[in-house]
Amino acid sequence: MVFQDYGLLPWLSVADTIAFGPRPRGRPRDAVDAAVARFTALVGLEQFGGHVPAQLSGGMQQRVAIARVLANEPAVLLMDEPFGALDSLTRETMQHELQRICDELARAVVFVTHSVEEAVLLADRVVVMGGGPACGAPGHVELVAAVDLPHPRDQSSPAFNEIKRRRRDVIHGAGRRPA
């Protein structure tokens, strides 16, 4: 699971953070070292293996959190608003990096976001939730819909913006129809 707040231990280096999962599971040292090298390179931090979180930017810390999860070889990657705390430029970079990583590793991702644009940009299928504590109603699924656009997606294209508009209509109650 990748969280919005990174969840990094401040005293562990990048390399030790990535090794945090495989090492206690009894993996041989050379396999752990190979996993650290692979995933550090995958997220573009190969020169930062000895750095601790305080020495890294927010985007770099989120890359470490992603590498840490991937080193555990999950079948499904769970991400709870992982880019919510990032500035817009770093968020955009991380969205593209996540797409590249998922394409390379062929991992399934469950990605929670409050951004309709981010959901349409990254997802093959969008699930729009409604209700919940803030609404005083039980949470429920409003819509499950495919995003039938090839990756990488052009956010300025009419097709992208039409899908985004239809998802927003569902969220705002204007379009309670399948889309």
- Does residue 141 share a domain with residue 107? no
- 157 and 85 belong to one structural domain: no
Residues 95 and 169 in one domain: no
- In the chain, the percentage of residues whose pLDDT exceeds 90 is 54
Contact present, 113 and 129 (Cβ < 8 Å) = no
pLDDT (average), residues 113-120 = 94
Question: Any idea what the CATH number is for the domain that residue 21 is in?
Answer: 3.40.50.300
Average pLDDT over the chain, rounded to an integer = 89
pTM: predicted TM-score of the whole model, two decimal places: 0.82
Co-location of 49 and 121 in the same domain: no
Host domain of residue 72: 1-112
Instruction: Report d(CA 4, CA 74) in Å as an integer.
Output: 19
15 and 41 Cβ atoms separated by less than 8 Å: no
Q: How confident is the model at residue 174 (pLDDT cuts 50, 70, 90)?
A: low
Predicted pLDDT of residue 106 = 84
Read off the pLDDT of residues 51-70 as tens digits, 9 standing for 90 and up. 999 999 999 999 999 999 99
Give me the amino acid identity at 139.
Answer: G
